[in-house]
Amino acid sequence: MQRFPTKKLCRAAVIAALYSVVCWLLGELSWGPLQIRPAEALCILPLFYIEAVPGLWIGCVLANLFSGYGPLDMGVGALATLFASLVTHLVGRTSLPDVWKLVLGGIPVVLFNAVLIPWVMVLGGAPVVYWEQFFSMLITESVWFYVLGTPFYLAVKRMRKKGLSVLL
């Protein structure tokens, strides 16, 4: 039995492309002290699909090519997304009600980014204070995951219930 059939591989590639392109389109806003990164709403996808984990990780690596923090952001920033996606996927595999999956699935996304990304900025030479950036990331990540991600989660859930493929 194939572990990662073509459909899953393609879905991971589509997720990576969407994540990186949305970040690139927003340019400096995606990497600034107040991160405008609506691509983070895609972080709900590991609740449904294991292939979203490598898709988000690769998308984040590609997006961070242009962040200005270089290999530090491509490494540490992308690892924050990878670890958060893995934990979010584990939440998605539980038998919890949807509301709890959504609430608990966002916690690793918000916390991993809030803890690690300010270090990337500080070590990368940005004129930011760690704790100010930490709280800024808590807020912006929560907005992207919960405010933008919740309707996305509900749409994916409805499509799957109808037997429709999402992102392929």
Q: How many helices (H) and strands (E) does the chain have?
A: 7, 0
Position 150 scores a pLDDT of: 96
Q: Tell me, what's the pLDDT at 165?
A: 81
* pLDDT tens digit sequence for 57-98: 999 999 999 998 989 999 999 999 999 999 999 999 999 999
- Whether the model clears a pTM of 0.85, i.e. scores above it, the answer is yes
Extents of the domains making up the chain: 7-28+36-161
Q: Which of 87, 15, 121 has its CA nearest to residue 58?
A: 15
Instruction: Extract the residue ranges of the chain whose pLDDT is less than 50.
Output: none
Output the pLDDT for position 68: 87
Q: What is the pLDDT of residue 99?
A: 95
What are the C-alpha distances in Å from 150 to residues 32, 67, 133?
24, 27, 24
Give the Cα separation of 135 and 97 in Å (integer).
29
